[in-house]
Structure 1
Amino acid sequence: MLQKRRSVQAPSAVVMVRPHHFHPNTETAGDNKFQKHPTDVSANEIAKRAFDEVTQAVAKLETYGVRVHLFDDEGTETPDSVFPNNWFSTHPGGHIAIYPMYAPSRRKERRADVIEELKRCYRVQEVVDYSGLEPDHIFLEGTGAMVLDHVERVAYAVKSNRLDPIALERFCTHFGYEPMVFEAQDESGADVYHTNVLMSIATDFVLISTDMIVNPARRAEIIERFEQSGRTVVNLSADQIASFAGNAIELSGTDGRLLALSQTGVDALSVEQKRIIGKSAKLLPLSVPTIEMAGGSVRCMIAGIHLTPRLNNESVKLPPS
């Protein structure tokens, strides 16, 4: 039976960005093995398909009661802008974090209008900006580099070029999370570039490929942590991870919790895995095959809003950024 109660893990509002000139980013292809570079489709057609995929995904989310703050990106220098969860995150108590990005092209994705819209619609007390760490080559790509357990207050993070332990420690100290860092590799031995392609933490279950965690002791510790939290561990294969089955986000809709992930990811799940998920969340497949060519999927496209909405008659006093 699906749950209708709200969960701190499952936001009911999100930010999404609709790109007008989408294409896989060659600058990030070096350590993102999920990327594909098509040669049989024109750049204009790829951009059009991506635009349409975001439009349709937004409409579907809104149909199920998720509030979507949609921003258009008409620029030509931000090919990965469709993935806003990497450059900012929001947190209960009115806190926003802005992150240092590994690829120079991705640093241009940060937008003041997004932050100002959040301040206008939600109670924001503080904006913590870590982007000044970039000149020192210290990076932390938001909820791509970290997967946050908002209930147990743990930040799970795969070692990669996109995550520096200094930045992670600063974030965890400031926002009250325990860092849980580990190494993860695919079957070819390549490092996983972002934690959120490997795992997704929902209220009652976790999607994760434990086999891709390199250190057996760390693997056992992570599994134990999830089981102690009362969650069911849904173990994914490397092939399922390659199909973006782990790149999912739990959301709160009108009729209960939803698990948003791509149609590609849903198709890769087994009947039993779908049954376990379905006990507490409705599977919500979104078709984004063009966007997945950039090496990310639905989770990467959605920045969850964990802020308190302002009342209709509440005056807006914007705190300084």
Structure 2
Amino acid sequence: MSAHSVQAPSAVVMVRPHAFCSNPDTLGDNAFQQRGDVSAAATVAKAAYREVSTMARRLQDAGVTVHLFDDCGQATPDSVFPNNWFSTHAGGHVAIFPMAAPNRRLERRWDVIDLLKAHYRVQDVIDYSGLEQDAVYLEGTGAMVLDHIDRVAYAVRSSRADPLALERFCTHFNFEPMLFDATDAQGRAVYHTNVLMCIGSDFVMAGFDMITDPARRKVVRSRLAENGRTLVELSAAQVGEFAGNALELQGSRGRILALSARALRALTPRQVATLEQSVELLALDVPTIETAGGSVRCMLAGIHLKARPVPTSPQAYSNDGVSGLVTGLPAAVQAS
């Protein structure tokens, strides 16, 4: 496998929900989402809890540091997708993002930021959440797919990716904005860029044909291929199976590509062979989580920060009745 890359974080934050369900406030523009079955709420929540627990354990077994936070509340059905409300960046920078759905704004947890400050070198935290008052939204690395090597932020134009917020983020964090329009096979706008595109160190897999303007499509393809990356074309049907919703990570044996079992089944043997030239594929089974309209990549907030020395004793963090115990790297944060 290839060597360590700035594109592939070796640590992530995950959130394990105790009351998971499909968020009714985001059904309007998320074509991947299924309406929840109220009568099966308890069964669904338990299944989601198991899926997140298993996924965290498998990532740790692969050598990825997982900071796992529990969400015991009832008001945050999408808390399992923490990559939407914050991101981290080399040089010690953290961004906090404005969220479109009011109940998603409740997902922001300061114990997560406290953990980052305690275990990693954080220089500053830039909070864009005040833009919500003007109905301006940019839902983190769901709305953007970041090329950390060439410093480009790719974003599908939507109600969750406002051009003004994108421009402001790119100015502060030294990214070039690359905005475009994209729709699915039914002509519906793509709600988040990270269901359409995955950028790895040596490859990009994306539903390029879903970019509606041919000239813009050519520009996006050209920009992504500039540094020699292999472009893996995904069909709209494969994107619909979450094949684009994957994240490259640094494991103990080299780089891995975390994606769902459903996504892997949608890939062709040739696509798999191309990806395996650069990464080891780690298929994670999250069918319950996927009913909420997101998959493996949405569940992972990558940490692109330099780690501090490992603490010699555990530290407890709590926020609004939710607590976690930091047991040291590379162990996970466990519920107390």
Q: TM-score, normalised by structure 1?
A: 0.96
Cα deviation, 1:15-36, whole Å, max 9, x if unaligned, reads: 0000000000010000000001
Q: Counterpart in 2 of 1:205?
A: 203
Cα deviation, 1:80-134, whole Å, max 9, x if unaligned, reads: 0000000000000000000000000000000000000010000001000000110
Cα deviation, 1:113-171, whole Å, max 9, x if unaligned, reads: 00000100000010000001101001000000000000000000000010111111110
2:179 paired residue among 165, 181, 188: 181
Larger mean Cα displacement after TM superposition, 36-45 or 268-277: 36-45
1:141–1:20 distance in 2 versus 1, CA, 3 Å: same
Q: Counterpart in 1 of 2:62?
A: 64
Cα deviation, 1:235-290, whole Å, max 9, x if unaligned, reads: 00111001000000000000000000000000000000000000010000000000
Contact kept in structure 1, 2:120 and 2:308, CA below 8 Å: yes
1:286–1:165 distance in 2 versus 1, CA, 3 Å: same
Structure 2, unaligned runs of 5 or more: 313-336
Structure 1, unaligned runs of 5 or more: 315-321
Q: Counterpart in 2 of 1:125?
A: 123
Q: Counterpart in 2 of 1:77?
A: 75
Counterparts of 1:85 and 1:6, CA distance in 2: 22
Q: Counterpart in 1 of 2:113?
A: 115
Counterparts of 1:261 and 1:109, CA distance in 2: 23
Is 1:295 aligned with 2:290?
Answer: no
Counterparts of 1:138 and 1:228, CA distance in 2: 32
Q: Counterpart in 1 of 2:231?
A: 233
Q: Counterpart in 1 of 2:262?
A: 264
Counterparts of 1:61 and 1:285, CA distance in 2: 10
Q: Counterpart in 2 of 1:319?
A: none
- Where does 1:91-106 land on structure 2 (aligned, <5 Å)? 91-106=89-104
Shift of 1:229: 1.6
Q: Counterpart in 2 of 1:150?
A: 148
Q: Counterpart in 2 of 1:318?
A: none
- Where does 1:34-53 land on structure 2 (aligned, <5 Å)? 34-39=32-37, 42-53=40-51
Q: What is the RMSD of the two structures over their aligned residues, measured on CA atoms?
A: 1.1
Counterparts of 1:208 and 1:187, CA distance in 2: 14
Cα deviation, 1:171-226, whole Å, max 9, x if unaligned, reads: 00000000000000001110000000000000000010011000000001111112
Is 1:140 aligned with 2:148?
Answer: no
**SS of the residue aligned with 1:27?**
helix
> How much identity, in percent, do the aligned residues show?
60
**SS of the residue aligned with 1:108?**
helix
**SS of the residue aligned with 2:287?**
coil
Aligned residue-pair number: 312
Larger mean Cα displacement after TM superposition, 34-43 or 152-161: 34-43
Contact kept in structure 1, 2:15 and 2:80, CA below 8 Å: yes
Q: TM-score, normalised by structure 2?
A: 0.92
Counterparts of 1:41 and 1:293, CA distance in 2: 15
Counterparts of 1:118 and 1:227, CA distance in 2: 33
2:7 paired residue among 6, 9, 13: 9
Shift of 1:227: 1.6
Shift of 1:39: 3.8
2:170 paired residue among 167, 172, 194: 172
1:129–1:40 distance in 2 versus 1, CA, 3 Å: closer
Counterparts of 1:161 and 1:290, CA distance in 2: 26
1:46–1:312 distance in 2 versus 1, CA, 3 Å: closer
Shift of 1:40: 8.8
Counterparts of 1:39 and 1:47, CA distance in 2: 11
1:139–1:282 distance in 2 versus 1, CA, 3 Å: same
Counterparts of 2:221 and 2:152, CA distance in 1: 13
Counterparts of 1:41 and 1:219, CA distance in 2: 44
**SS of the residue aligned with 2:239?**
helix
